[in-house]
Structure 1
Amino acid sequence: MYKSLQSGRAIAAIVVVLYHLGLTLAADKYFGTDIFKIPFSFGMLCIDSFFVLSGFIICTAHSSDFSKPHRLGRYLSKRFIRVFPVFWAIFFAVFFLAVAIPATRDTVPHDLEILVKGLFLIPQDKNVIGGTGAPVITVAWTLHHEVFFYLLFGLLIISKWFLPIMVAAWVGLKLFYLDVHQPFVVSFILSPYLWLFAIGMLVAMINKSSKVVIEKPMRLAVLALIIFGVVASLTVHDSSFDNDGRTLIYGIAAGFLAIGLVRAEDKGQVVMGNRWMQLLGNASFVLYLIHYPVLSIVCKLAMAIGLGQLGMLGAVITYVGTFIVCVIVAVAFHLWVEKPLSAYLRERTEKPSLRYA
C-alpha cells in the first residue's frame, strides 16, 4: 500500500469524523451552535474519495486475476476478512450496549429481518431504515456499495467479458428508468458511487501502464486539491449543492490525486509518510465505523457532567475531547482487535491446503 494513499485515507476519515461531530454539537439537545458544523460541512465528499481509493486498491491487487475463475475463492475470502469480522464486532458491541441502556434502547431496531440484513450488509431502503438504510451502524451504508462492487469485480475474475455485459445492463437500466420512478433496488444499482469505483479502477490501470508517462505527477495532485477546494467551498456556501454531478467531479479529482501521489511516490516523493499518519491510515476503517456511536456517547457524557452549562467553552472542550477519544478508541481497536483478528483469519485461510492460487 502506498504511504501517500494511506495518509489520504487518514485525512478523509478524520474529516468525516469532524463533519459528524459538528452536526452533533449543532443539535439543540447539545450546544445548538453551527460554529463547528460549517467548516466541515463538505465532509461527506470525503466518502467519495474512499470509493475511488477502494477501486484503485482492488484493481491494483487483483487485475492479474481477470478471467481466472480458480482465483475467485481466494479473492472473496480476502474481501470477507477485510470487511465482515471487524464490522460484526463493532455491530454487536454497539447493538448490545444500546439495548442495555434504557435511554438508547429504541435507537436500534429489534426486527430480526432488519438486523440480519444489516449484519450481512444487504442494502435496505433508507426511507424505511434509519435514514441511511443501515441499522445500528448508520455509516455502514457505504459498505453496501463496497460489497456490491466486490461482487461485480468478482464477475471479472470469472471472466473479463462480464465487463461489457455489466456496462450494457447499467446503461439499459438507466435509459429504461430515465423518466420513471426508480424502485429502491434500481436506484441503488444506478447510484453514481459505482462510477467512483470505476474511476479508481481506471487510475489503477493507468498506473500499471508503462505507456502513460507523467513527468511531474505532483501537478496532478495540486490540480486535484484545487478542484477539491472549489467543490468543498461551493458545498459549504450552498448546502443544496448536492447532486450526482458533484459526486463525479469530486471522484475525478480523487482520481487525479491518487495517480499524482502514486506516481510521485514511485519517484521517491512521499507525502505525509510519517508513522503516525500511517497508523491512522491503517485504523481509518475502524475510525469510520466506530466514530458515530463513540461521539454520541461522549457528547452525552459531556452534557451529563455539566459542560453544556459552560457555553462556548464547554462546546470547545467537548469538540476537542470527543475527537481525541474517537481517534484513541479507533487506534486501540485497530491494534488490539482488528489487526490480530485479521492476521489470524488470514493465516487460517492461507494454509497450503486452502489456497486457491
Structure 2
Amino acid sequence: MATLPALTSIRFLAALTVVLCHFTEIGVLNGPEWFLQMADGGRPAVSLFFVLSGFVLTFTYRDKIGLPGGATAFYAARFARIYPVLVLSLLLSLPVTVWLLHTGDSELLREWYGLKGSYIAMLAVSLVAQLLALTAWLPFSALNQPWNGPAWSISCEAFFYALFPLLLRWLEKRGSGALTLLCLALWLLQGAWIALLLAVLPPSRHGFLVAQFPLTHLFEFVLGVCAGIAYARLRGAGGSRHTLGMGLVAVAVCAVGTLAVLRPLSPAFYLQAPFFGALILGLALLERPVAGVLHRRWLVSLGEASFALYLIHVPLARMAYLAGWRQQAGWLAVALAILLSLAIYRYVEEPMRRQLRRRLARPRLVLPVVPPAVPPVVPPASAAQAPAVPVPASNG
C-alpha cells in the first residue's frame, strides 16, 4: 500500500517471524527458544495477516464495492492477486514430493506430510484441495499438510473474500458503538469456540481446528474490516488524528509484547488479536513517521514481496534440509528465500496479476452519446415575421 507504507512494512516482519519459526521446526535453523516461545510458532503473525487483510480490503474497496460490477472486479482482483503465487509454491513443492516418494523416506513423509500409507492417492487429493484453496476446511493432516502446508491460510482468505462485499455493506450501516459491541461479541464467541474445542476434542483434532479452521479466524478478519471503517470515519470527520494513532500504537506494542512474554493463555493469538486491530488502526492514523523505520523504502519493498515469501518459504526450507543445509547455512537459506520472493514479486506476481486482471475484467458496452435533436432555426426576414422557436421538452 503506497499510501500506508507502515502497514506494508509490518507484513514483512510478520512473514519473517513465520519463516524463522518454520525453518527452525524443519531443522534448517537453530532458532533461540525464547524467540520460538514468544512467536508461538508464527500463529499470531498469521492472525495479524487476517486483521490486516480486512483493513486493507476495506481501505481499498470501500468506495468501489457498491458500484456496478464492483463485486465482480473485486473477486477478479483477489484471484489475480493470490493464485499465481499459490500455483508457483506448489511447483516448488514438487521436487520435494518427488524426492520423498523416490527415496521412500517414511519418516519425513509422516513428519512433513502426515502420510502413513496410500501416498499417491492422498497426495493427489491433497493437491486438488490445495488448488481449490480448501485445505483449511479439512481437519486431516494427510490432506492439509502435503505439498505446501502454510497454504491453509489461503483457504481462510478465500472464505473471507467470498463474504467481504456483503459483509462490508452490512457493517457500513452500523454505528461506531454497534461495531465495537459486535467485535467484542465475536471475540468472546471465538474464545468460547476455542475453549469448547480444547475441552471436547483430543489434541490430534483440536490443534488443527484452533490454529487453522477458517471459522476460528473469522473474528480477526471482521475486526480488520471494522478498523478500516473506523479509519475512514475518523478521517472523514476532519482534524488531526496523529496523537490518537501514536497512543494506539504504543498501547498495542506494549500489550502484544507483554502477552508474548507471559503467554497467559494458549493459543497466544486469541488475546493478541484485538491489539493487532489497534496497532493497524494506529499506524494508519499516523500523519508522519515517528521512528521512521517502517517508512524506509527497502522495508516497504520487502513488505510488498511478503506474500511470496510466506508461500514459498516451506518448500525452500525442505529443499535446503534435503540438501544438507543446517545451522549457519540455514541463514543463507533464509536470505535466499527473501531474495527469491523479491524476484517473484517483480517478475511473476505483479506481471501475472496485471495480466489476469485485464483478462478477467468484464468488457463494458459503451454507447455513443447522441445529442438531442434541435430544430434548425431559420433566420427570419424581419423581426415581425420571426416564427416562434419551440422549447425542447425537458429530459428530467
Distance, in Å, in 2 between the alignment partners of 1:354 and 1:119 is 33
Q: Residue 284 and residue 105 in structure 1: after superposition, are their counterparts in 2 closer, same or farther (change >3 A)?
A: farther
* Residues 139, 209 of structure 2: 8 Å contact kept: no
Report deviation, 1:342.
1.3
Could you tell me the TM-score, scaled by structure 1's length? 0.77
* Residues 22, 37 of structure 1: 8 Å contact kept: no
State the Cα deviation string for residues 184-233 of structure 1 (Å, max 9, x = none): 99984541x11111111111011101348634122211211111211211
What corresponds to 2:98 in structure 1? Answer: 99
What code does the residue aligned with 2:227 have?
A: V
Percent sequence identity is 24
State the Cα deviation string for residues 81-136 of structure 1 (Å, max 9, x = none): 111121012213312552256237874653333321221111456652348x3531
* Residues 294, 326 of structure 1: 8 Å contact kept: yes
What corresponds to 2:80 in structure 1? Answer: 81
State the Cα deviation string for residues 151-190 of structure 1 (Å, max 9, x = none): 1113347x638999xx8xx899999999696899998454
Distance, in Å, in 2 between the alignment partners of 1:123 and 1:24 is 21
User: What SS does the aligned partner of 2:323 have?
Assistant: helix
* Residues 7, 273 of structure 1: 8 Å contact kept: yes
Q: Match for 2:329 among 318, 326, 343?
A: 318
Report deviation, 1:20.
1.3
Q: Residue 21 and residue 172 in structure 1: after superposition, are their counterparts in 2 closer, same or farther (change >3 A)?
A: closer
Matches within 5 A, 1:1-357: 1=1, 2-25=4-27, 36-41=32-37, 42=39, 43-65=42-64, 70-99=69-98, 102-103=102-103, 107=109, 110-111=120-121, 112-124=124-136, 127-130=139-142, 133-156=144-167, 160=170, 188=213, 190-191=215-216, 193-209=217-233, 210-211=236-237, 214-216=241-243, 217-235=245-263, 241-243=265-267, 246-264=268-286, 266-267=287-288, 271-303=293-325, 315=327, 317-350=328-361, 352-353=363-364
Distance, in Å, in 2 between the alignment partners of 1:354 and 1:115 is 39
* Residues 156, 163 of structure 1: 8 Å contact kept: no
Distance, in Å, in 2 between the alignment partners of 1:58 and 1:118 is 23
* Residues 174, 190 of structure 1: 8 Å contact kept: no
Report deviation, 1:23.
2.2
User: What SS does the aligned partner of 1:302 have?
Assistant: coil
Distance, in Å, in 2 between the alignment partners of 1:134 and 1:268 is 41
Could you tell me the TM-score, scaled by structure 2's length? 0.70
User: What SS does the aligned partner of 1:135 have?
Assistant: coil
Larger Rg: 2
* Residues 66, 156 of structure 1: 8 Å contact kept: no
Number of residue pairs the alignment of both structures matches: 324
Distance, in Å, in 1 between the alignment partners of 2:261 and 2:190 is 34
Stretches of structure 2 that go unaligned for 5 or more consecutive residues are: 114-118, 175-181, 367-396
Superposed CA RMSD: 3.7
Larger mean Cα displacement after TM superposition, 119-128 or 86-95 = 119-128
What code does the residue aligned with 1:155 have?
A: L
* Residues 23, 37 of structure 1: 8 Å contact kept: no
Stretches of structure 1 that go unaligned for 5 or more consecutive residues are: 309-314
* Residues 10, 284 of structure 1: 8 Å contact kept: yes
